[in-house]
Amino acid sequence: MKTKMKLVTTILLTLFLLLCTITPVYASDTSRSSIVMDLDSGRILYSKNAKEKRLIASTTKILTAIVVLENSELNKEVEIGEEILTMYGTNIYIEVGEKLKIKDLLYGLLLRSGNDAAVALAVAVSGTEEEFVKLMNEKAQEIGMKNSSFANPHGLDEETKNYSTAYDMALLSKYAYQNKTYRKIVKTKEYTLETGEKTYLWYNRNKLLNSYEFCTGGKNGYTPAAGKTLVTTASKNGLNLTIVTLDDGNEYETHEELYESIFNQYQTYQIIDKNNFAIDKQFYDGTPYIKKSFSYPLTEEEKEQVKTVVKITNSKTNKVGEILIYLENEKIGEIPIYNKAEKEKESFFTKIKNLFT
């Protein structure tokens, strides 16, 4: 009996250690929901309860900023209206009648998490906060944030509430990261503004910018109902990541430790190089080319498990096939192959003839 019990215990322990090896467990992750996503490929490198809906507090303002950036001019001047008078919590303390540029309000929104800046921007872009919220939800659906809903541009949740998931917020962070102006603002540590009436000095509330050298930006948030929320980005050795944590009392420690763990495990490898692509003439007698290269984050072990398959499907059109990229049996990428049409060389006599026709 003792021998059997010992055998069972050994088997269970072995299975546990195997599972821990396959799915890393991060004891330092104290959030209720979290995710690590590669910003370039969208690959999820770690997650915990990533598709559970939660209140997201001021990380809402990432979407607010993107909607503003895509629907307004940075140098447009805005006269602040009475909509700011209902705002509380974190404000930049702009005043009714004061004039600021859209760009300056965005810095106040993203660095200091100004709720007054959020409603001022919403009214400046759409006329009313309600109309602006419609744009927010439309953009969220366009990005692929299927489990998110927005009711205001600031994230306060006593009257109206914004819900999302760690996964959806990672999609938003990935999308926002493509916008150069957004990237510039969220990595700014301090910003000074003189309006003629007042001088503002705003420090970025994202503490990770100062505590972690590889951090490139992000947005924090907090309400009593949502807890502490944080969306950040970081880059190291060509690997660009975003982390989202929802309801985490140790959010900055969680982000830094997750970043370090993932950076130590993964590296971005170029699998297909568009400048060094060719197909053996015995398989395709044309001039094939591809428009983009393909890179992917992999562990050292996974690097050996990548394979590519070239399929030629139609040699009579511009697109003649595709390259399929697999990690073990999972397709991780697909690149179209095109044929470079070569112009027929005109003979000297043909050129002369064309001059008279």
- Residues designated as active site: 58, 61, 113
CA-CA distance, 258 to 252, in Å (whole number)? 10
The CB-based long-range contact list for 197-200 (8 Å cut-off, 24+ gap) reads 197/95, 197/98, 198/95, 198/98, 200/92, 200/108
For 149, which DSSP code?
A: B
Q: Closest Cα partner for 62 from 190, 155, 199?
A: 155
* Helix/strand/coil for 200: strand
CB neighbours of 217 closer than 8 A, spacing ≥ 6? 183, 185, 186, 187, 206, 209, 232, 233
Instruction: Give the residue from 219, 125, 126 showing the smallest Cα distance to 164.
Output: 219
Residue that is written with structure tokens 């910018």 in the block: 209
Nearest-CA neighbor of 194 among 297, 331, 63, 98?
98
